[in-house]
């Protein structure tokens, strides 16, 4: 059907009569208008025929629609059984919403805090840590330590070592370890202890920290104080 | 179609459904299933879609029952749910059909005419009428189905579709013209 045919009433019937025919078929005409249309249909066979055709089309289409989509399950229970697993109402609790929002905010805040405290660039750079252990041969030179860290190294490492080297007045001595003299060496020269000797090791680990403001970096210094107690075996016996 | 509780027994069912009473939903489905299926068919023009999409509509109705602000407008609300579910379905089907069309273009051509025995089936009249309704443009099809399947008044249809009553009337007249032409004895099926 062309657009023009669609907008024009069928031949020989006015648009007004056609509209009233349709309203009558749809039960939308009141009593007086219905009687008036009935009289017009008696006088106009073309309009009467049109109403019959519309009524027939309505009957066929309505029957087809009811057959296809009319009531199927008498009690709806079968349909309910099919639907029931899908009928879960989403939780719309105010408290749950607030809790979820707070959780999201906390997560975001923690992320920002972590990023500001530990910037990724610092993680990628080697962390300078001084150690009392003997240095192994490195292919690349160790980075230069800032002044604050060098001072710390001196305080916790060099100064006690110098003090420990003082000879003891007795024939029992504490021998500190050092890079050029590993700890635990029972054959360390202790001239004041004569004859066979026995040694015992003790290790104290200390962690020191220094903050370099210029580099905004924390340096950790791990110091193992290994002491070897050496005494003459013959004296114990 | 302003109706109070006494005039509209389904309104109480809708309110009970929004409180989470499943029995009320079952009764609502039983009473309104036919026109919901009709709206689905009218909106997407696919008779086979009605059952599947109807389930989706009732699931949506159950989940969104608390979004119905004015209980007296439940019919428009349910109509909108059904209409949009059908439109979503039609969109998905179009995409699937386009994909299927591309695949079939690669396959050898075959005879797709209907089986002669099928033409003689007792349901031929219904099928032809249903096809004629399905071929109506959607603006005409929806009010026609609501009127003939559900018996809705012009005013109810206008309220559900958000249209003026004269527009509904005009669309129903034009739907009749097209159907008369499509169902005439000599018309091509």
* Contact assignment for B176 to A90 by CB distance below 8 Å: no
**Is B11-92 in CATH node 1.10.1740.10?**
yes
Q: Which of A22, A25, A76 sits opposite B27 (nearest CB)?
A: A76
A66 neighbourhood in chain B, CB within 8 Å:
34, 149
A14 neighbourhood in chain B, CB within 8 Å:
none
How much is the mean pLDDT over chain A?
70
Q: Which of A6, A76, A89 sits opposite B63 (nearest CB)?
A: A89
Give the per-residue pLDDT at B66: 79
B149 neighbourhood in chain A, CB within 8 Å:
62, 65-66, 69-70
Could you say which residues from 103 to 132 on chain B have a Cβ atom under 8 Å away from some Cβ of chain A? 125-127, 129-130, 132
Q: Is A119 helix (H, G, I), strand (E, B) or coil?
A: coil
Rounded to whole angstroms, how far apart are CA atoms A94 and A142? 58
- The reply to whether B148 touches chain A by the CB within 8 Å rule is yes
For chain A, the 3-state helix, strand and coil shares in percent, each to the nearest 5, are 50, 15, 35
A11 neighbourhood in chain B, CB within 8 Å:
none
According to CATH, the topology of domain B114-183 is Arc Repressor Mutant, subunit A (1.10.10)
On whether the CB atoms of residues B83 and B43 are closer than 8 A, the answer is: yes
On whether the CB atoms of residues A89 and B64 are closer than 8 A, the answer is: no
Q: Does the structure show a pLDDT above 80 at B10?
A: yes
CA B135 to chain centroid: 13
CA A184 to chain centroid: 50
B174 neighbourhood in chain A, CB within 8 Å:
6-7
Q: Does the structure show a pLDDT above 90 at B143?
A: yes
> Rounded mean pLDDT of A170-186?
48
CA-CA-CA-CA torsion for B125, B184, B34, B151, nearest 10 degrees? -140
Instruction: For A106-120, write each residue's pLDDT tens digit.
Output: 887 777 666 666 545
Instruction: For B107-131, write each residue's pLDDT tens digit.
Output: 544 444 444 444 434 467 788 888 8
* Contact assignment for B176 to A92 by CB distance below 8 Å: no
Domain positions in chain B: 11-92, 114-183
Q: Which of A60, A65, A87 sits opposite B183 (nearest CB)?
A: A60
Which of A65, A70, A77, A85 to mutate to probe the B interface, most B CBs <10 Å?
A65
- Burial of A205 by CB count in 10 Å (0-12 exposed, 13-18 middle, 19+ buried)? exposed
Percent of chain B with pLDDT over 70: 81
* Contact assignment for A1 to B29 by CB distance below 8 Å: no
| CA atoms lying within 13 Å on the CB side of residue B110 | 6
Q: How close does chain B come to A60, measured CA to CA in Å?
A: 6
Rounded to whole angstroms, how far apart are CA atoms A176 and B106? 87
Give the per-residue pLDDT at A218: 75
> Rounded mean pLDDT of A97-112?
77
Q: Which of A28, A57, A77 sits opposite B179 (nearest CB)?
A: A57
Instruction: For A54-72, write each residue's pLDDT tens digit.
Output: 998 898 888 888 888 877 6
The angle, 0 to 180 degrees and rounded to 10, between the axes of the packed helices B22-44 and B50-63 is: 130
Q: Does the structure show a pLDDT above 70 at B152?
A: yes
Q: How close does chain B come to A211, measured CA to CA in Å?
A: 59
Q: What are A212's strand-pairing partners?
A: A217
* Contact assignment for A68 to B148 by CB distance below 8 Å: no
Give the per-residue pLDDT at B189: 53
Q: Does the structure show a pLDDT above 60 at A220?
A: yes
Q: What is the ipTM of this complex?
A: 0.70
E strands within B12-150?
none
Cβ pairs A/B, distance under 8 A = 130
B184 neighbourhood in chain A, CB within 8 Å:
53
Q: Is A203 helix (H, G, I), strand (E, B) or coil?
A: strand
Give the per-residue pLDDT at A170: 42
* Contact assignment for B149 to A69 by CB distance below 8 Å: yes
On whether the CB atoms of residues A24 and A34 are closer than 8 A, the answer is: yes
CA A8 to chain centroid: 64
Q: Which of A54, A72, A75 sits opposite B180 (nearest CB)?
A: A54
B122 neighbourhood in chain A, CB within 8 Å:
none
Rounded to whole angstroms, how far apart are CA atoms A44 and A46? 5
Instruction: For B66-110, write each residue's pLDDT tens digit.
Output: 778 788 888 899 999 999 999 988 888 887 777 666 655 655 444
Rounded to whole angstroms, how far apart are CA atoms A64 and A58? 10
Could you say which residues from 9 to 48 on chain B have a Cβ atom under 8 Å away from some Cβ of chain A? 20, 22, 25-27, 29-30, 33-34, 37-38, 41, 47
Pairing of strands A217-232, A129-131: parallel
A20 neighbourhood in chain B, CB within 8 Å:
none
């Amino acid at each position: 059907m062309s657009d023009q045919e669609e907008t024009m009433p069928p031949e020989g019937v006015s648009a007004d009569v056609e509209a009233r025919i349709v309203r009558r078929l749809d039960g939308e005409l009141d009593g007086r208008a219905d009687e008036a249309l009935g009289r017009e249909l008696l006088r106009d066979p073309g309009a009467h025929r049109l109403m019959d055709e519309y009524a027939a089309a309505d009957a066929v289409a309505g029957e087809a629609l009811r057959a296809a989509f009319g009531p199927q399950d008498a009690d709806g229970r079968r349909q309910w059984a099919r639907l029931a697993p899908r009928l879960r109402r989403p939780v719309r609790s105010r408290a749950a919403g607030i809790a979820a929002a707070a959780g999201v905010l906390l997560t975001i805040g923690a992320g920002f805090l972590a990023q500001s405290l530990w910037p990724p660039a610092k993680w990628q750079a080697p962390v300078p840590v001084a150690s009392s252990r003997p240095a192994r041969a490195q292919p690349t030179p160790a980075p230069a330590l800032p002044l604050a860290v060098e001072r710390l190294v001196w305080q916790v490492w060099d100064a006690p070592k110098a003090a420990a080297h003082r000879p003891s007045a007795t024939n029992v001595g504490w021998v500190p370890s050092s890079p050029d003299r590993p700890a635990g060496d029972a054959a360390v020269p202790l001239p004041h202890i004569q004859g066979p000797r026995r040694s015992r090791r003790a290790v104290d680990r200390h962690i020191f920290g220094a903050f370099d403001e210029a580099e905004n970096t924390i340096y950790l210094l791990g110091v193992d104080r290994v002491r070897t107690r050496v005494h003459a075996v013959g004296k114990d016996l | 179609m302003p109706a109070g509780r006494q005039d509209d027994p389904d309104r109480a069912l809708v309110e009970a459904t929004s409180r989470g009473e499943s029995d009320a939903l079952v009764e609502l489905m039983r009473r309104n299933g036919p026109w919901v299926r009709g709206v689905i068919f009218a909106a997407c023009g696919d008779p086979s879609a009605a059952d599947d999409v109807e389930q989706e509509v009732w699931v949506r109705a159950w989940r969104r029952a608390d979004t119905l602000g004015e209980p007296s407008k439940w019919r428009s609300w349910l109509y909108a749910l059904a209409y949009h579910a059908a439109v979503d379905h039609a969109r998905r089907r179009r995409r699937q059909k386009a994909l299927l069309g591309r695949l079939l273009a690669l396959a050898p051509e075959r005879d797709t005419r209907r089986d002669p025995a099928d033409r003689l089936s007792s349901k031929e009249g219904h099928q032809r009428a249903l096809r004629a309704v399905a071929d109506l443009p959607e603006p005409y099809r929806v009010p026609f189905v609501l009127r003939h399947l559900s018996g809705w008044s012009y005013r109810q249809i206008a309220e559900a579709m958000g249209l003026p009553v004269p527009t509904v009337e005009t669309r129903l007249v034009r739907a009749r013209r097209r159907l008369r032409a499509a169902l005439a004895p000599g018309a091509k099926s």
